[in-house]
Amino acid sequence: MMILACPYALLLLLLPFLFYRLLPAVKGLHGDALKVPFIADLQRINIAAGGLWSVPSAEGISKRFWALYLVWALLCLAAARPQFVGEPLPLKNESRDIMLVLDISTSMLEPDFTLGNRRITRLDAVKAVVSSFADKRANDRLGLILFGTRAYLQAPLTFDKAGVKDILYSMQAGMAGDSTSIGDALALALKTLSGQKGDKVIILLTDGENNDGSMSLGQAIKLAADEQIKTYTIGVGSPNVFFRMLSLAAPGVDEQELKALAQVTEGRYFRAENTADLQKIYDLIDRLEPSNHDERYVRETTELYYIPLLLAIAAGLGLAFMRRRAG
């Protein structure tokens, strides 16, 4: 599509006519021109010789004026900056880096969650809810850390949501050990995100307390406070004490430490006692950290002003050459 970037420059096309109509005729250097009785004969000679510059048109404007006006019109068109604008292309939005840190210790096998009126384990509920969360973050990079006795970076930051979901569905409780090393998992997440630019978020989910690993949760919290990477913490598990007494589960979620971690990083702590709670929590985090869905477009623009500019130069040189020959 052709457009003019500065269309008001075309108003300059009227300038020569205004000068011609409003300004008085230029007098000679020695007063008014002499009246030559045989001027008509000189004009006929000029016509016979093919002269261009002194032949008036029907309106009394010489052909020289129109020739120079053509050059002026081309210059005005160049000043209006004609452009060729291509089709709109989507501009890539800025994204967030979100690190999902999930507890897969054996306590996640507790079947105290339900889905569709059937009892499921905590880990199965996490798989379903986190997978749905990943689908919503189309413009963000996701990473995945799984931890038990040890913490492992299973998926570095990536836009490949399908790959992250494949790892989610294939993870099994106990793959990283039976105990819980929250401090090590948090330290690994901070280390992975520390070199990245832009918005960074950690979502840490666990059903227990830090009882293993080389770094205590208190040390990891101090490290998180220094890095200032917003961290949302989620404690999962049924609050039913009788149920937990009958199970082989860990003593329970260390809510005090998880709240402290969320507070020092300006995040939030959540407690999920069932699948519906867990879904609401991830939906809320999705709203608190909105993905940039603004559709922005850019059009490729090609400047064409040089074409009328070159034509104006060529026409000016041609007129100068013709006048020199006529002289």
Task: Find out whether 29 and 96 touch, Cβ atoms under 8 Å.
Answer: no
Task: Find out whether 283 and 238 touch, Cβ atoms under 8 Å.
Answer: no
Beta-carbon count within 10 A of 134 CB = 20
Report d(CA 256, CA 269) in Å as an integer: 10
**Collapsing DSSP states into helix, strand and coil, what is residue 158?**
strand
Amino acid at 241: V
- Between β-strands 82-90 and 2-4, what pairing exists: parallel, antiparallel or unpaired? antiparallel
Q: Which of 158, 118, 108, 50 is nearest to 272 (CA)?
A: 108
Q: What pLDDT shows up at residue 279?
A: 93
Domains and CATH numbers, the chain: 2-24+37-88+299-326 (no CATH), 97-288 (3.40.50.410)
What are the start-end ranges of the E strands in the chain?
A: 2-4, 82-90, 97-103, 113-115, 118-120, 141-147, 151-158, 200-206, 230-236, 269-272, 297-303
The tens place of each residue's pLDDT in the chain, 327 residues long, gives 888 889 898 998 888 888 777 776 655 544 555 554 544 554 554 544 445 444 454 445 677 778 888 889 999 999 999 998 887 766 555 678 999 999 999 989 988 888 888 899 999 999 999 999 999 888 889 999 999 999 999 999 999 999 999 999 999 988 988 888 999 999 999 999 988 887 899 999 998 888 888 888 889 999 999 988 999 999 998 765 444 454 444 457 888 999 999 999 999 999 998 889 999 999 999 888 876 655 556 677 888 988 999 998 998 888 888 777 765
**Collapsing DSSP states into helix, strand and coil, what is residue 64?**
helix
Report d(CA 234, CA 273) in Å as an integer: 10
Q: What pLDDT shows up at residue 29?
A: 47
309: its two tokens: 């500019």
Report d(CA 227, CA 192) in Å as an integer: 11
205: its two tokens: 């989910």
Q: What pLDDT shows up at residue 267?
A: 92
Report d(CA 24, CA 225) in Å as an integer: 81
Beta-carbon count within 10 A of 252 CB = 16
Q: What pLDDT shows up at residue 292?
A: 60
